[in-house]
Each structure stands twice: as structure tokens, then as C-alpha cells.
Amino acid sequence: MNDDALDRMLAGEDELLPSSGFVSAVMDRVRAEAVAPAPIPFPWKRVLPGLVVVGAGLCWGGVELVRLSLTAIHTNAPAQISLPAISVQALQATGWAALALGAALVSWVLSRRIARDSGLI
């Protein structure tokens, strides 16, 4: 097929016109969007302190890990971390909670992917 034949076929096509209610439906939707209130802004003022605390905690943990590692390297002995029994129990509970949250997240992600692949979403 050459360009001339393609041009002749396209020139012979009828003009496409929208259906009778299409323009009015689109304009109604445009008017509704123009009247709609602005979206609620994200509350950064409330989130920012939490992010700062989490960042500071991660930095402190990194510094302590480096400090313990350097101590272990200089003494040629493994670093010993001694925690009170109550802290160990709290850390174990936190670990189980983190494991449960991770399992919930994985199952949610997999179910979303399966639903998207099947066309439900």
C-alpha cells in the first residue's frame, strides 16, 4: 500500500460527529468541577514533627551502630549489647507487630495486583 492509496481511503471517510448528549454531558462535568471546592491540603504541620522524630531516631541508631562496630573492631571482640529484660520483651513484641504489619502489607499488595490483572479494579 502506498501513500496515495492511503490518502484516497482517508479522504473518502465521513466526518466524525459526537453523539447528541456528549457535548452537554462534558460541559456539565466541567461546570461541576469548576464549582467543586478545593481539595483539603495535606497537614504537613502535623506530620513534620513525627518525621523529624523518626529521622532523629534513625540517625541516633546509625551512630550507635557505628560506635559499637568501631569499639568491636578496636577490641577485637564482638560487641555486646546488654538490655534490661523489660526492653527485650518490648523489642520482641515490636518485632512480632512489625512482622504482622509486613504480612498484611504483602497480602494487600498481592490482592491489589491480582484484582488489577483480572480487571476488577
**Would you say 61 and 68 are in contact if contact means Cβ atoms under 8 Å apart?**
no
Give the tens place of pLDDT for each residue, 19-32: 888 989 999 999 99
pLDDT tens digits for range 85-108: 667 777 788 888 999 999 999 999
Sign of CA dihedral 49, 50, 55, 58: positive
Q: What does pTM read for this prediction?
A: 0.37
Give the pLDDT score at 51.
93
**Of the given ranges (28-42, 74-88, 101-115), which has the lowest mean pLDDT?**
74-88
Confidence check: pLDDT of 83 > 90: no
Q: What are the two backbone dihedrals, phi and then psi, of residue 89, each rounded to the nearest 5 degrees?
A: -65, -40
Q: How many CA atoms lie within 13 A of 61 on its CB side?
A: 6
